[in-house]
Amino acid sequence: MEITSSTILDCPASSVWALLEDFGSIQTWWPKNGPITIERVVCEGEGVGMIRHIHNVGMAAPVSERLDFLDPPNRTLILSIVGNRPSGITAYVAIGRLTEISEQQCRLDYRAYVTTAPGKELKAEKGILFTWDIMFSGLRETL
């Protein structure tokens, strides 16, 4: 299934891209208080191919995201979840694309291609959109 979401951020695209491009630094801009709180991030490798293991408070296993593609001139990244996947997800690849609207405004578009265990589609979609909303608010609060 395909899942999409977008948000408008009232800050320069270059500022948002600097946070997204530094793939291992998600904990610096992720909301500190909220329904999903990052305890720590352990990075494996650098640049394209690196994996960030995100250990969330209260979760037994980390969410491990691999940076599969990074295109700074077009402000695009692709990541996949590897290892243990949450919410019945069996495969997950997401594309994040940042577009400048004006000098002080940009749009972040996220698109994921997801497969799930039978009957888990709706739960996975809700969980992904919920997580993206937290991500968007973290970016907004940081900038």
Residues 110-123 have pLDDT tens digits of 999 999 999 999 99
Is the pLDDT score of 15 beyond 90?
Answer: yes
The answer to whether 142 and 11 are in contact (CB under 8 A) is no
Q: What's the chain's average pLDDT?
A: 96
Output the pLDDT for position 95.
98
The answer to whether 65 and 83 are in contact (CB under 8 A) is no
The answer to whether 74 and 97 are in contact (CB under 8 A) is yes
Is the pLDDT score of 87 beyond 80?
Answer: no
pLDDT band for position 84 (cuts 50, 70, 90)? confident
Output the pLDDT for position 69.
98
Indicate the helix (H) or strand (E) that contains 90: strand 89-102
Q: At how many degrees (to 10) do helices 121-142 and 13-21 cross? A: 120
Instruction: Report the alpha-carbon distance of residue 45 to residue 37 in Å, rounded.
Output: 23
Q: What angle do CA 50, 55, 56 make, to 5 degrees?
A: 135
The tens digit of pLDDT for each residue in 34-76 reads 899 999 999 999 999 999 999 999 999 999 999 999 999 999 9
**Rg of the Cα trace of the chain?**
15
| 76-82 sheet: strands from edge to edge | 2-9, 105-116, 89-102, 76-82, 63-71, 51-56, 38-44
Output the pLDDT for position 46.
96
